[in-house]
Amino acid sequence: MVLKLNKLDRKQYKERSSIIHQTLYQTDNWKAATMIGITISRFPEVDTYEIIRKAWSEGKKVTAPRCIHKTREMHFHLIKSFNDVSPSYFDLLEPEPSLERVEPGRIDLLFVPGLAFDSKGFRLGYGGGYFDRFLSYYNGNTISLCFTEQVLDAVPVEAHDLPVKRIIGEGLTLKP
């Protein structure tokens, strides 16, 4: 999947991400959310920079995860600008640990990344298990954003895996 996604050219990547953004902004989940939890994307993940900017422009609060590698946990911190993040583990952009930590129950809408998804909402993640652990006690709305080629007939599912509540791709909205 990584090889397939890496073949996207930048123009196509931006155009396809924009289509996904427009679908997202029409959802009740987006409209109702006052605080979102979202990762800061890296190519070839669906662009989240524009989503974050849109959230700020609409007065939504934005939180981003910081991974705690010793315990494989994630803590979400409030970010008010892209100056609040810096490269961390695997060069992921994460919030500074000194920023306000946000309890999971305050996050209305959580964006869950993944490499591949199935129509039941299960996903193949990046292998760290951070989101799987977080989802085990997060009770809010979850959305995954993906390009159409990331939706497969089936992905490997383990006993601890939890599905997301909605998957949005170009021209695609799945509510498992």
Q: What mean pLDDT value characterizes the chain?
A: 93
Per-state percent for the chain, helix, strand, coil, to nearest 5: 30, 25, 45
The backbone torsions φ and ψ at residue 149, rounded to the nearest 5 degrees and listed phi first, read -70, -10
Residues flagged as binding site: 40, 45
The dihedral region occupied by 17, where left means phi > 0, alpha psi between -120 and 50, and beta the remainder, is alpha
Distance, in Å, from the CA atom of 131 to the CA atom of 115, rounded to the nearest integer, reads 13
Distance, in Å, from the CA atom of 164 to the CA atom of 13, rounded to the nearest integer, reads 23
pLDDT at 161: 86
47-84 residue pLDDT tens: 999 999 999 999 999 999 999 888 889 999 999 999 99
- For the chain, give every domain's residue range: 2-6+29-155
Domain range 2-6+29-155, its CATH number among 3.40.50.720, 3.40.50.10420, 3.30.70.1560, 3.40.630.30: 3.40.50.10420
Residues flagged as binding site for substrate: 40, 45
- pTM across the whole model: 0.94
Q: Which two tokens stand for residue 44?
A: 């070839």
**Residue 85 and residue 79 in contact, taking contact as beta carbons nearer than 8 Å:** yes
